[in-house]
Amino acid sequence: MNAERVIDYFSKERFTIGTSILRIIFGIIILYNYVILYSQRHLLFTNNGYATFGNSGVSLYDISNSTMYFDVVYNVGIVVAILYTLGVKGRLSSILNFIFYYSLYIRFNHIGDGGDNLMIIALFFLIFADCTKYFSFEQNIKNRKSKHPNLKNITSILHNFSVFFIIAQVIIVYMVSATYQLMGETWSSGTALYYISQVQTMSSPIFEKLATGSLVYLGVILTYASIFVKYAFAFMIFNKKTKIFIVSCICMFHIGIGISMQLYTFSLIMIAVEALLFTNEEYYSFYNKLQKTGIKIKEWLLTYTNDFSKRHLQNYKLIVFYDGRCGLCLTTVSNLQRLDWFGLITYVDFRDSSNIKNESLNLNELEKRMHSLKVKNSKIQNGVDSFTELTKRIIPLWFLTPILYLSKWLGIGNVIYDFIAKRRNLVPVNKCINNVCLREDTKVGD
Amino acid sequence: MRKICLLTIALLTITFVIHYSLILMHAAPTNPISAKYNNLSSTYTSTIFSQNWHLFAPDPINRNVHIYIQVTDDTSKDTNNHWIDMTRHFIKNNNDKVITPYNRTIRLIDGIFADTVGSNYTSDLITKYVNKNDEDDDPVVDMLTEHKKSSQEKGEYSLYRLASSYIRSFMSDKYISMKYLRVRLTVYETVPFSKRNDKNYERKIEYNKTFNWKEISEVSQMY
């Protein structure tokens, strides 16, 4: 019975959201490093640059000293990093990305930092984890594929252990570095940040202010706080409630380091690994709370802006007639309804004849193009004009408004609109909407 | 299958314990256990698991390194007054933009200086040992001396290559066409905490060394 519980504990899918988030952030940081150092790559990483690189035996860059070979490997590394970030061929791209980035990392010499060090170790363990379950190109394929239960158990065990290895590594980072801080005289006397803030190659101009005036004493407090937060981390992450507090503290601590010491990627890496500390249930719980808060804010805003909306927003009300037998239209309407923060648009299915009884609208025209009716002046518009009116009322789509006006002005707006509208599918095979079922895909005009 | 699952869990748990024991021995402050198993932990952490979590501790950097350069066609001329502060270029570029390669390349200044003076050796155990045993014929002391020498050679090489790249990338044609360069490394101390309110306090120079004239190298440019 105990053995079953142990197997259940280690094979339960827990951290797949965290590993997926970490994959994306690591991928972006790796891409950033590749791109930002692109112009300096020969100076920093080749024997034509400022240093000489012996044969380490573990870097792809050691195979040849040719600059062309270096450039090929570097550019392939970028492509691999893009695939890794997008989650294409999860395990394979994870392995390749590790090989390519590690090959470059061991040539970092003087330009590397603790963040790079932690990321390389974490990337190695992530090879054994499932990092593409969420937010990836593979997620849909993955969800459809059903693994054999036993194989699933083994991969879940490997996944969970790889996460445990990374979490343990992060704890070691904080515990060990805090212990070294305690051993140092400037850290124990609270003056370490005062001295670091004077080092021009390590400090931003903002940070230099810690060495002047009364801010000196803030520096003393922050010096001690940095040690305290690191030690507290190891003890507080094991409790659900204290975990959120300490992770927030650690994030603020690293944001501070990022801004003051200009260690941007270091800070981002240290913050990113915190993503592994939360289980899938906790992420879903955050998401639900966030949604509930969003609804509450929306309700609050609606209540307090009721008078305003009655006076002003009524003039902007719009009725949109959509095709209730078109899958694309149904999905679009559903998405647009979520974005219609002020409730300005009413969507009406023109297939339901009762909806258009009182309007002077022609069913054939409605089938060809989406129509809209302005409540204020009963003005009817269609095609790209309707779509423009929609985007004007939906804030997240404002960026499309000038593009749509331009397309209309160029005379291509309705051409493109008609091209898409004519090719829309009406009620997909084996799907029924409003009790209407078709046996084959039907195109407009069929 | 149940057995395979249990076996996997057991193996991974054992690996976890052994792995982090070795990591702690390598990364944590030196103690009798880590001293005893130093060879094993150092070998284990020599590649992927290589790590160092000193992170500005125990003693953070408290110096400002400046690399000055001079170029000439005639090394016999006295050019002592025309020193160009290369470090300023790195600091300015790093401070002016958030997204810039200088955010990384600025680290070359302190890194190369540490190599040049041979102070980049981070094995706590050996440092501790050498501090207590400074006899000339001690093999560990000899090893560290050898390491320092090699580091200094590497540092000087990097220093000249970086300076050559700077000349070729940012200096006017008049200088680029010149043949020789020499480098001066100057390190200024930071203002001690007790002197922070003393407006007349002058920062002391902790290190100042002018290296020999050398030919400007063919090296990749920086942008």
Beta-carbon separation of B16 and A164 below 8 A: yes
DSSP A248-291: HHHHHHHHHHHHHH--HHHHHHHHHGGGGGS-HHHHHHHHHHHH
Is it the case that residue A123 has pLDDT exceeding 90?
yes
User: Rounded to an integer, what distance in angstroms lies between the CA atom of residue A238 and that of residue B166?
Assistant: 51
- List of chain B residues whose C-beta atoms are within 8 Å of the C-beta of residue A192: 56-57, 60
pLDDT band (50, 70, 90) for residue B119: confident
- Determine the Cα angle at A353 with ends A351 and A356, to 5°: 100
Residue boundaries of the structural domains of chain B: 2-44, 63-215
**Cα A201–chain centre separation:** 32
Average pLDDT of the segment spanning B40-64: 91
Whether the predicted pLDDT of A433 surpasses 60: no
Mean pLDDT for the stretch of residues B174-195: 91
Q: Mark which residues 128-187 of A lie under 8 Å from B by CB.
A: 150, 153-154, 157-158, 161, 164-165, 168-169, 172-173, 176-177, 179-181, 183-187
Encode pLDDT of A143-173 as tens digits: 556 667 778 889 999 999 999 999 999 999 9
What amino acid is encoded at A319 in this protein?
Answer: I
Lowest mean pLDDT, pick from A68-72, A398-402, B64-68, B81-85: B81-85
Query: Which residues of chain A does B5 touch, with a Cβ-Cβ cutoff of 8 Å?
Result: 7, 10-11, 150, 153-154, 157
**Pairs of residues, one from chain A and one from chain B, whose beta carbons lie less than 8 Å apart:** 199
Residue that is written with structure tokens 């719980």 in the block: A285
Using alpha carbons, list the distances in angstroms from residue A354 to A351, A358, A359: 9, 8, 10
What is the ipTM, given to two decimal places? 0.93
Residue reference for tokens 């991969």: A155
Residue B183, pLDDT > 70, answer yes
The pLDDT value given to residue A146: 62
- Cα angle B122, B127, B129 (rounded to 5 degrees) comes to 150
Lowest mean pLDDT among A118-122, A183-187, B28-32, B121-125: B121-125
Residues of A in contact with B20 (CB under 8 A): 168, 172
Q: Indicate yes or no: CB of A195 within 8 angstroms of CB of B60.
A: yes
d(CA A408, CA A387): 11
Asked whether A372 and A380 are in contact (CB, 8 A), the reply is yes
Report d(CA B18, CA B7) in Å as an integer.
16
Q: Is some CB atom of chain B closer than 8 A to the CB atom of A244?
A: no
Please name the residues in contact with A190: beta carbons below 8 A apart, sequence gap of 6 or more: A219, A220, A221, A223, A224
Cross-strand pairs, B68: B85, B184
Res. B111: pLDDT tops 80: yes
**What's the gap in Å between the CA of A67 and the closest CA on chain B?**
11
Query: What is the reported pLDDT for A388?
Result: 93
CB-based contact A153 B1, cutoff 8 Å: yes
A 252-291 residues with CB < 8 A to B: 262, 264
Tokens of A288: 């639900």
* Other Cβ atoms closer than 10 A to A405: 16
Provide DSSP, A214-230: THHHHHHHHHHHHHHHH
pLDDT digits (tens, 9 = 90+) for A196-253: 999 999 998 888 887 777 788 999 999 999 999 999 999 999 999 899 999 999 999 9
HSE, CB side, 13 Å, CA atoms: give it for residue A233.
29
Q: What is the model's pLDDT at position A333?
A: 87
Q: What's the number of CA atoms in the CB half-sphere (13 Å) around residue B25? A: 20
Q: Is B27 in Cβ contact with A185 (below 8 Å)?
A: no
Min Cα separation B158/chain A (Å)? 5
Burial class (CB in 10 A: 0-12, 13-18, 19+), A162: buried
A202 in reach of chain B (CB within 8 A): yes
Cα separation, A24 vs A73, whole angstroms:
22
Structure token pair of residue B7: 């076996």
Q: Are the C-beta atoms of A424 and A326 separated by less than 8 Å?
A: yes
Mean pLDDT score, B31-48:
92
Mean pLDDT throughout A298-306? 83
pLDDT over threshold 80, residue A427 = no
CB B124 within 8 A of CB B135: no
> Long-range contacts for A139-148 (Cβ within 8 Å, ≥24 apart)?
A139/A87, A142/A90
Residue B177: Cβ within 10 Å count: 10
Quick one: average pLDDT of A376-381?
A: 86
Q: How far is A278 from chain B (nearest CA, A)?
A: 20
Residue A434 clears pLDDT 60, i.e. is over it: no
Q: What is the mean pLDDT of chain B?
A: 89
Is the CB of B60 less than 8 angstroms away from the CB of A192? yes
CA torsion through residues A127, A132, A138, A140, sign: positive
Mean pLDDT confidence for B129-151: 78
Alpha-carbon gap: B174 to the closest alpha carbon of chain A (Å): 23
